[in-house]
Amino acid sequence: MTVENLSSNKTFGGWNKQYSHQSKTLNCAMRFAIYLPPQASNGQKVPVLYWLSGLTCSDENFMHKAGAHRIASELGIAIVAPDTSPRGSDVADDEGYDLGQGAGFYVNATQAPWNKHYQMYDYIVDELPALVESMFPVTDKRSIAGHSMGGHGALVIALRNSDAYQSVSAFSPISNPINCPWGKKAFTAYLGRDMTTWSDYDASTLMRNASAENGKSFVPALVSQGEADDFLAEQLKPEVLEAAAKNSGYPLALESHEGYDHSYFFIASFIEQHLRFHGSHLSVS
């Protein structure tokens, strides 16, 4: 596989690097960014936090705006931020910001024309970690986090793959996409009108049905929500996620923060808490 290094920037003793590679899963070129803490340059393998961004974002937003490198450097955690969807002139798109390129929703599309490229769930769960673990000095210990659409993706992926992740966190996640406008639009396009297929990608449904029996384990979860978020009532629905956790006894810590909105100002304010949460479960703090 040809992997091209697009940029390298030293920060807090480590390196933030951006790469491009040809994805077999998505049938197109994909970008991802990785922060390698200084420990990774000193012969030590480090665990990885995967960060999934939200609507209209790319692999760059979190790395440039969240202010995560200082704490990741201290803790010795690598951060991998993939793009939010397939991209390219031959990749299906939509005029709306909430569908198509930039809005992959971390699902495996089953409907044409989306199913040719939009297999983001498999890309995040399988292809990207395999690539990262083959290229960089990292262990196979993973945690996952995200914001908004990416928070939805992080929760769904952790809930469906509890053996692969040590912890999960989300800022302002789309908690119940089968019952909100963003989710209904995307799922209808990507998955079709049979709503029985949607529940596999709904964090609230998955958390309500979660069980620690038969060798399965719960992935500890932290969710932060701003109370001044313009999307709170119509799109995000954290109260549904909280009720689902109570129903199954899921270890969810859901925090509300007065005055904070949906922006990266909110993420930057609490990213240290989230990184230390993941660090405690990745055994680095």
Residues 6+ away with beta carbon under 8 Å from 10: 16
Q: Provide mean pLDDT across the span 34-49.
A: 95
Q: Provide mean pLDDT across the span 212-219.
A: 74
CA distance 158 to 176: 15
| Token pair in block for residue 281 | 């479960």
> In percent, how much of the chain has pLDDT > 70?
98
Nearest to 62 by CA among 164, 163, 154: 154
Q: Are 166 and 219 in contact (CB under 8 A)?
A: yes
Residues 6+ away with beta carbon under 8 Å from 199: 178, 205, 206
CATH number of domain containing 218: 3.40.50.1820
pLDDT band at 42 (very low <50, low <70, confident <90, very high): confident
229: annotated active-site residue: yes
Give residue for tokens 């999307």: 231
Give pLDDT tens digits for 140-185: 999 999 999 999 999 999 999 999 999 999 999 999 999 999 999 9
pLDDT band at 215 (very low <50, low <70, confident <90, very high): low
Q: Give the strand order in the sheet containing 14-23.
A: 3-11, 14-23, 28-36, 78-82, 46-52, 138-147, 168-171, 221-226, 252-257
Give pLDDT tens digits for 79-94: 999 999 999 999 999 9
Looking at the structure of the chain, the number of domains it has is 1
For residue 130, what are the domain limits? 3-281
Residue 254 has pLDDT above 70, yes or no: yes
CA distance 148 to 165: 19
The sign of the CA dihedral 9, 55, 102, 118 is positive
Q: Are 145 and 170 in contact (CB under 8 A)?
A: yes
The active-site residue, picked from 59, 83, 202, 229, is 229
59: annotated active-site residue: no
Helix (H, G, I), strand (E, B) or coil at 119: strand
Specify the pLDDT at position 283: 84
Averaged confidence pLDDT in the chain: 96
The active-site residue, picked from 262, 274, 278, 281, is 262
Specify the pLDDT at position 284: 72
pLDDT band at 111 (very low <50, low <70, confident <90, very high): very high
Specify the pLDDT at position 217: 83
Specify the pLDDT at position 274: 98
Specify the pLDDT at position 285: 55
Q: Provide mean pLDDT across the span 73-82.
A: 98
Give pLDDT tens digits for 120-139: 999 999 999 999 999 999 99
The active-site residue, picked from 53, 58, 143, 148, is 148
pLDDT band at 1 (very low <50, low <70, confident <90, very high): low
